């Protein structure tokens, strides 16, 4: 996805080794991660909003790649803090997505996932059914 995210005008660089998969919205989200309607609260098993959110946590749109140290320091922090860390410490194009975002909710996760799906179909022969 990193190579597919680069434009034709971008410089080519070696991809870093030993990257970790990071959940942008963490698996242990809570008050630092408001719902789309602005409400907050700890997730519960019978809360429809929490169930919908938990279903999208492990999708491609919510995952990114970071060095181990950056992943650990990002932890369960809120999106604003994570966004600053990503901007300061990573040069991967797939992380540039977060630069202009003011929030990270289910809609943004779906949007990024759809963008990656489009990149995959355009990049890898056969994914479009031909």
Helices (runs of H) and strands (runs of E) counted in the chain: 5, 2
Confidence of residue 3 (pLDDT cuts 50, 70, 90): low
Q: What are phi and psi of 109, to 5 degrees?
A: -65, -45
For residue 40, give both structure tokens. Answer: 């907050």
Segment among 7-11, 45-49, 123-127 with least mean pLDDT: 7-11
Half-sphere exposure of 55 (CA within 13 A, CB side): 9
For residue 70, give both structure tokens. Answer: 């950056």
71 versus 45: the higher-pLDDT residue is 71
Confidence of residue 9 (pLDDT cuts 50, 70, 90): low
For residue 76, give both structure tokens. Answer: 């369960």
The mean pLDDT value of the chain amounts to 83
Q: How far apart are CA 74 and CA 55, in angstroms?
A: 22
- pTM attached to this predicted model: 0.80
- Scan for tokens 């759809």, then name that residue: 114
């Amino acid at each position: 996805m990193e190579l597919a995210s680069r434009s034709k005008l971008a410089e080519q660089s070696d991809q870093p080794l030993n990257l970790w998969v990071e959940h942008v919205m963490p698996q242990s989200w809570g008050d630092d991660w408001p719902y789309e309607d602005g409400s907050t609260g700890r997730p519960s098993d019978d809360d429809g909003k929490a169930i919908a959110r938990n279903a999208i946590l492990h999708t491609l749109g919510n995952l990114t790649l970071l060095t181990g140290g950056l992943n650990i320091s990002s932890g369960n922090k809120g999106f604003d803090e994570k966004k600053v860390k990503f901007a300061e410490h990573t040069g991967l194009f797939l992380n540039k997505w977060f630069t202009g975002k003011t929030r990270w909710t289910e809609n943004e996760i779906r949007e990024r996932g759809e963008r990656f799906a489009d990149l995959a179909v355009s990049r890898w022969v056969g994914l479009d059914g031909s």
